[in-house]
């Protein structure tokens, strides 16, 4: 079964970010490249901190999906996205073996090798949420469902009924996937609360933590802010040393499959 298991974050300072994630989110180091890239894991995800190449934009850059068989994906793309292109990736610790693009051109790495994360017991803090800001939200949701077999989340019916936002939610059995409106849409509809991160494309990912009070007290001063009560998931927002946003939740949790929530 396909599942998101990889995030690539582009940074000038992989060592600094790696130390932050290891110290505060208990992530383990998988390895380093000769170019200075560092791969970390929470036991399920591969979080690769990559040095910028070819003018890449800094920040959370793209994500990856574990698949069973690239030939199955090829067949799905032929049926549902016939203009999609499959490219080769190095298949090393910091990349998948293939790359495709969603309907908005956002890169998706694909791996038949679990993104080189060794089998083991995942422990909290653990990643269970991914969000990006894109146009064509309904089309993107259908793409994930048709190509990867992801499911709709239960909240989509409520969103469609209210018809006040193009936001859509998907789930793969481990991760709650938020398909958020573009920064331009939020601005046009006056739905951009102060402090909202409006980076287009891959915007943030989120952790589940077991003891929120202890976790918050451990963080560096100025790195955390509360999330609005109206948000369906995550109570707090943390910024890493590069300013990249991370959601954290204990009580609200994340809907990782239709009607199935994980909390701590």
My answer on whether 92 and 135 are in the same domain is: no
Residues 80 and 176 both lie in one domain: no
Q: Are 131 and 111 contained in the same domain?
A: no
Instruction: Clarify whether residues 38 and 146 are in a common domain.
Output: no
Give the per-residue pLDDT at 195: 57
Work out how many domains the chain is built from and give that number: 2
For residue 71, count CB atoms less than 10 angstroms from its CB and return exposed for 0-12, middle for 13-18, buried for 19 or more.
exposed
pLDDT confidence of residue 121:
76
How distant is the alpha carbon of residue 25 from its chain centre?
Answer: 16
8 domain-assigned = yes
- Give me the mean pLDDT over the 219-245 stretch: 91
Tell me, what's the pLDDT at 232?
78
Higher pLDDT, 191 or 91: 91
Point out the domain boundary residue: 68, 98, 116. Answer: 116
Interhelix angle for 70-80 vs 137-148, to 10°? Answer: 140
**Proportion of the chain above pLDDT 70, given as a percent:** 98
Of residues 163 and 232, the one with the higher pLDDT is 163
Instruction: Answer yes or no: is 121 within a domain.
Output: no
Residues 141 and 167 in one domain: yes
Q: Are residues 141 and 182 in the same domain?
A: yes
Q: How far apart are CA 164 and CA 159, in angstroms?
A: 7
- Does one domain contain both 90 and 172? no
Amino acid 194: pLDDT: 55
Radius of gyration (C-alpha) of the chain in whole angstroms: 17
Task: Give residue-wise pLDDT tens across range 100-154.
Answer: 999 999 999 999 999 999 988 778 999 999 999 999 999 999 999 999 999 999 9
Statement to judge: residues 65 and 132 lie in one domain:
no
Q: Are residues 102 and 133 in the same domain?
A: no
Which of 65, 87, 116 represents a domain boundary (last residue)?
A: 116
pLDDT of residue 23: 97
Helix (H) or strand (E) holding 169: strand 168-171
103 and 193 in a common domain? no
How much is the pLDDT for 190? 82
Give the pLDDT confidence of 159-184 residue by residue, as tens digits. Answer: 999 998 999 999 999 999 999 999 89
Average pLDDT over residues 29-38: 97
- Among residues 116, 146, 177, the one where a domain terminates is 116
Whichever domain contains 41, its CATH number is 3.10.180.10
Q: Are residues 134 and 218 in the same domain?
A: yes
Q: Which domain holds residue 189?
A: 126-262
pLDDT digits (tens, 9 = 90+) for 34-49: 999 999 999 999 999 9
Q: What pLDDT shows up at residue 134?
A: 94
CB contact set of 239 (below 8 Å; sequence gap of 6+): 223, 224, 245, 246
Q: Does some domain include residue 79? A: yes
Residue 213, C-beta contacts closer than 8 angstroms, at least 6 positions apart: none
Q: Do 210 and 157 lie in a common domain?
A: yes
Q: Is 48 a domain residue?
A: yes
pLDDT at 193: 60
Q: How do residues 179-228 score in pLDDT, each as one tens digit?
A: 999 989 988 988 766 556 889 999 999 999 999 999 999 999 999 999 88
* pTM, rounded to two decimals: 0.95
């Amino acid at each position: 079964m396909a599942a998101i298991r990889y995030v690539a974050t582009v940074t000038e300072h992989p060592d600094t970010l790696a130390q932050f994630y290891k110290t505060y989110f208990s992530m383990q180091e998988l390895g380093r490249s000769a170019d200075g890239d560092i791969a970390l894991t929470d036991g399920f995800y591969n979080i690769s901190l990559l040095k910028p190449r070819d003018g890449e934009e800094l920040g959370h850059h793209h994500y990856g999906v574990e698949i069973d068989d690239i030939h199955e994906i090829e067949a799905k793309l032929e049926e549902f996205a016939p203009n999609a292109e499959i490219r080769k990736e190095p298949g090393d610790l910091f990349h998948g073996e293939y790359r495709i693009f969603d309907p908005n051109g956002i890169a998706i790495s694909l791996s038949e090798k679990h993104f080189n994360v060794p089998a083991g017991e995942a422990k909290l803090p653990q990643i269970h949420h991914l969000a990006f800001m894109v146009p064509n939200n309904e089309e993107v949701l259908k793409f994930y469902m048709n190509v990867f077999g992801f499911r709709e989340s239960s909240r989509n019916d409520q969103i469609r009924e209210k018809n006040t936002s193009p936001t859509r939610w998907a789930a793969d059995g481990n991760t709650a996937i938020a398909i958020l409106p573009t920064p331009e849409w939020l601005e046009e509809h006056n739905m951009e609360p102060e402090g909202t991160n409006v980076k287009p494309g891959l915007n943030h990912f989120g952790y589940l933590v077991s003891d929120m009070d202890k976790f918050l007290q451990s963080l560096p001063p100025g790195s955390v802010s509360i999330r609005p009560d109206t948000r369906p998931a995550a109570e707090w927002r943390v910024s890493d040393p590069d300013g990249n946003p991370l959601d954290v939740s204990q009580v609200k949790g994340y809907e990782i499959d239709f009607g199935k929530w994980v909390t701590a």
